[in-house]
Amino acid sequence: MATTTATVSISSSDLQSGNQLSINASSTLMKTGLTTGLELMEMGNASVEVGSPTEHSLAEALGATDSANWVYICNTSTDDTYNLEIVIHETVIGYLNAGEWLWMPWNMGDSAAEIEVQAIGGTNTLEYAIFKSAWTLPTAS
């Protein structure tokens, strides 16, 4: 089983006058209650245009059991006026300016907790990856 380790390093020598900031955090991501690593559910690149529909579904929640899932989204646009709005079930959780990224836990146990993105300013390019704890397929219709 693959091992997934997330690492973030943040440093600044001039954020506050006379104080340096140095944050280093690392975590090995495991399946809920186990010692085995997460699986990659989906990854890719996308182009999101301004206009209709205003929100584009990036990942649908499957309504599976609550579990440890992680999402990475990066706005790879280079124009500072091209931004992405990140939404989970009609709630705006934040904005990504050009070149910014997010890494967040995601509970896909609520079938209404889909992740959507909306372009602001122009056609945005993004990359994403979704790591999940359990592979549960939706019921066939």
- Predicted structure pTM score: 0.75
Angle at 105 between CA 109 and CA 44, to 5 degrees: 90
- Inform me whether the pLDDT recorded for 9 exceeds 80: yes
**Mean pLDDT, residues 86-109 taken together:** 89
Question: Could you read off the pLDDT of 62-78 as tens digits, one per residue?
Answer: 666 666 788 889 999 99
Max alpha carbon distance in the chain (Å)? 62
Look up residue 129 and give its two tokens: 């990856």
Quickly state the pLDDT bin for 101 (edges 50, 70, 90).
very high
Q: How far apart are the first and last CA of the chain?
A: 31
Mean pLDDT is highest, among 5-9, 29-33, 99-103, 107-111, for 99-103
Closest by Cα among 135, 137, 115, 112 to 126: 115
Q: Are 107 and 71 in contact (CB under 8 A)?
A: no
